[in-house]
Chains A and B, each alone.
Chain A
Amino acid sequence: MRPAVHDAIARVGASVHGNPASIHRSGQRARRALEQAREQVAGLLGASSRGIVFTSGGTEANNLGIFGTAQAATATRKRIVTSAIEHSSVMAPLAELEGRGFTVTRVAPNRDGQIDPAAVASAISDDVALVTLGLVNAEVGTIQEVAAIAQASSRAAAIFHLDAAQALGRIAVRVADLGCDLMTVSAHKIGGPAGIGALYVRPGVNLAPQMLGGPQESGLRAGTPNLVGAIGFGVAAEGVASAIDDECARIKMLANALLTHLTRTIPGLRLNGPRHGRVANTLNLTFPGVLGESLLIALDLEGVEVSMGSACAAGAVEPSHVLTAMGRRPAEARSSLRISLGWSTTPKEIAHAAEIITRVWRRVASAEPARAIEAAV
């Protein structure tokens, strides 16, 4: 977490006790703090604070946006348009809706993870209830072009939902410029606390609440709000709004330095995703001749934390569906790792990590060559 977020949570958390929904004065103080946080988050999105619905995180925001739209849609709208490289919190609700009679069109990306806006737009017609797309891909960092998709959605009167969890704090995400009806954001991606996110809902959009109970969050999300989380989110949003350009430039420089070093020392290393038109904080790399799982564990034991695909229920890593959708062979997906940089990453850490990654890759490649493993299967 950012230090300012920590401080704000400690300060406000100590003085504000009430339930924002309560009538008494401590409730009123709590409500003021919650509404201030809402304005701070709205400010980052260029939205009116009335459109911000706090949730428990990006997953709940995606669930609310998707199920809420599907449930509110008229009976003639039974189609949903999305891509093949979405986050699991989008894919799983869509799979569930398929079981409830919706048809889902999943547009495939190109080899760099870019979704052709014209292909999405041409799939949008009057029977589409929802178009849902990740603005920035979680695994390869590709930034999608959405202007044409927004226009096509609007023409067809379909709801356009953007999952901007990975975009927030890395590129401008102003809802008016992007032309979306719904937008998912999450606090911990910008140095805020985990367990708080929000769904932007454009005023006038008809959304069915998925959590029923009290009238909180304009009736769209019942339950006592996570006040401390919201306060942290608000402060993080304000912090990132003022620092976004500097921070992104710094991270981009560090990521480029790391990539340059690794490309020089690891023959055959490949960057997944486009050279340009991607956020800088994530490097998704295919390491030749090794199992990503093995490299990941070896790096972790050396203090370098990277990720791969997604964890299964048993805690093992699964090859990334994003990379296979981008045309990588399963073996290539199994050799790929994600290195993420953040607002707190330092040049010294990057230099150190670059040296360790090269050394560990050499060791793993010679001790457990991936080619031999593939041949044995």
Chain B
Amino acid sequence: MSARVLVAMSGGVDSSVAAAMLCEQGYEVVGIAMRLTPEGLPAPTRRRGTCCSYEDFEDARRVAERMDFPFYVIDLRPDFAARVIGNFVSEYVGGRTPNPCVMCNREIKFDRLWSRARALEAGYVATGHYARIESDAAGRFHLRRAIDGTKDQSYFLFTLGQSELARTLFPLGSMRKAEVRERARALGLANADKPDSQEICFVPDGDYARFVERTVRPAEIRRGSIVTGDGRAIADHNGIHNFTVGQRRGLGVAAGVPMYVREIRAATGEVVVGSRDELNSAGLVARQVRMVDSARFDGAEIELEVKIRYRHPALPARLRMLSGERAEVRFEHGGPAVTPGQACVFYRGDEVLGGGFIERAVEG
């Protein structure tokens, strides 16, 4: 396989160090910055710290100049708009809470970037993700959490299968963030102290609801009532896209006890609220389930841990495959709020076994 590697560079410290390290390891690095977000968003100069601002591209270009490897900006805006932003808004108007970073990895970085790599005769695609890829004696690949648990990004990468992992490099998986910054300083990279990006890159102000409203046709906005568990309407709302399961703030209802969103019913526009206790689910059904190494699972019930949000701890659970790329997950000790649309990722210890997207909660 060619030692040429396409490194996805955002201009941030992580992907910059990843590219520099691969250079030092003797790979033929080609730096690629992806232009993803559409025109018409707030001025790029105000968007420092998110992906894809012009300054970020310049930071990436400087790294390439310093390390002396070719660097190109590629335009994936149509793909990003169709496959990531389109999915994001349709999930929200459908009453679910999407995770666009997972979609971006699956659809853009490990699909579009991969066909680009083949076109450029590159044997590998690399990113600055904090996760590890290991191969065993049998030639199977394993996806593992990063050494730095606080930075671990394996949750966003569960869609990678054997063929992807064989051609993917995560140079930072065994490093701590502090080491990465240290490395950046040692390499003389100008962006060593640049802050980590936080919010979703195409919603720089973090106001998802307004973004959805600006993007969809008004008819697609589903207004309705906020109802209690016994079906009593207690308030009106301006669209189900304003809510996420487990949400407490901003419900616009006053009650004696704190109220949380329990369920969003897209068909009727109802947002069901309840007390904290009523949030807990026994399990969930996931769709578009993929296993990192499907050969290892024969369809029987599997004991594992499941993470149902990026920042949540993994919970012990049992997994049972259903038909049509679906699976049922039952928590061993009862679970917290299950948010449809979010990724649920299956772990065993530090290994990612697979994952899917939450379709619905399962009661009792």
Which A residues form the contact surface with B (CB < 8 A)?
290, 293-294, 297-298, 300-301, 312-318, 363-364, 367-368, 373, 376-377
Contact = CB atoms under 8 A, between A and B. Distances in A.
Given A297-B120, A377-B82, A315 B73 contact: yes
A370 to B, nearest CB: 10
Interface of B: 30, 33, 35, 44, 52, 54, 57, 61, 70, 72-75, 78-79, 81-83, 115-116, 118-121
A316 B75 contact: yes
Contact of A363 (B75, B83, B119): B119
A272 B72 CA distance: 26
Contacts of B44: 313-314
A312 B74 CA distance: 11
27 contacts: A293-B74, A294-B119, A294-B120, A297-B30, A297-B72, A297-B120, A301-B70, A301-B121, A313-B54, A314-B33, A314-B44, A314-B57, A315-B73, A316-B35, A316-B75, A317-B75, A318-B75, A363-B119, A364-B119, A367-B115, A367-B118, A368-B116, A373-B79, A376-B83, A377-B78, A377-B79, A377-B82
Contacts of B83: 376
A313 B119 CA distance: 25
Contacts of B75: 293, 316-318
Contacts of B73: 314-316
A368 B119 contact: yes
Contact of B118 (A312, A315, A368): A368
A367 B72 CA distance: 19
Contacts of A293: 74-75
Given A314-B54, A316-B35, A376 B79 contact: yes
Contacts of B72: 297, 300, 315
A226 B54 CA distance: 32
A297 B6 CA distance: 12
A316 to B, nearest CB: 4
A266 to B, nearest CB: 16
A199 B126 CA distance: 49
Contacts of A318: 75
Name the 10 nearest CB pairs between A and B, nearest first: A367-B118, A367-B119, A315-B73, A316-B73, A368-B119, A368-B115, A364-B119, A377-B78, A316-B75, A316-B35
A45 to B, nearest CB: 38
A367 B113 CA distance: 11
B57 A315 contact: yes
Contacts of B74: 293-294, 297, 316
Contacts of B33: 314-315
Given A313-B54, A367-B119, 4 more contacts: A294-B116, A300-B72, A312-B35, A314-B54
A294 B75 CA distance: 10
B28 to A, nearest CB: 9
Contacts of B70: 300-301
A301 B120 contact: yes
